[in-house]
Structure formats: C-alpha cells, structure tokens
C-alpha cells in the first residue's frame, strides 16, 4: 500500500481516532485499537506531531508512533502481519 497524500490534522474522542488529509479525505479508526492512546490523558493525546512527511503520527511523551497506513488495515490483518 502506498499513501499518496499527507495527513494535515489528527482529532480524537473517546471512540475514534480521526486523521484528515490534505486532499480532504478523512479516515476513522476505533480508539480501542490503540491501548496506549486510550490510557493517555487528553493533554497527552493533543500533543502529537506528524512525522515521515505526513504519513505517520508521533506522541513523543507517550513514546508511541503510528503509521497512517496501518490505520487502513483491519485488526486481523495487523495480527497476521
């Protein structure tokens, strides 16, 4: 899989992690997929930065990195990988 657009913003609530792309697309994944993020405070979550030319998200304080490409995989695909 090859991401052809870059993320521009990350949003979250108690149910979903949402990534907005420069081209207007939006993807949502359940927060339940990310135990480390579920345990974080709101202030820790909002302290993210986009990395790898907008194809990843990093929470430095949490020492957590997330590839946006991995958000497009199902949970079963992640386990098999």
Residue 58 and residue 49 in contact, taking contact as beta carbons nearer than 8 Å:
yes
Q: What is the DSSP letter of 46?
A: H
Q: Is the pTM of this model over 0.85?
A: no
For the stretch 2-37, pLDDT in tens is 556 799 999 999 999 999 999 999 999 999 999 999
**pLDDT over 80 (residue 81):** no
In eight-state DSSP terms, residue 40 is: S
What φ, ψ does residue 37 adopt, rounded to 5°? -75, -35
Q: Select from 3.30.2020.40, 3.30.2290.10, 3.40.50.1100, 3.40.50.10800 the CATH code of 7-80.
A: 3.30.2020.40
CA 29/CA 31 separation, integer angstroms: 6
The confidence band for 73, taking pLDDT boundaries of 50, 70 and 90, is: confident
Specify the pLDDT at position 75. Answer: 57
């Amino acid at each position: 899989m090859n991401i052809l657009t870059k993320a521009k913003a990350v949003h979250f609530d108690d149910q979903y992690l949402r990534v907005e792309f420069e081209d207007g697309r939006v993807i949502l994944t359940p927060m339940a997929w990310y135990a480390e993020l579920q345990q974080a405070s709101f202030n820790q979550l909002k302290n993210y930065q986009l990395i790898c030319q907008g194809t990843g998200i990093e929470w430095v304080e949490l020492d957590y990195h997330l590839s946006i490409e991995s958000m497009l995989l199902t949970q079963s695909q992640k386990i098999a990988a």
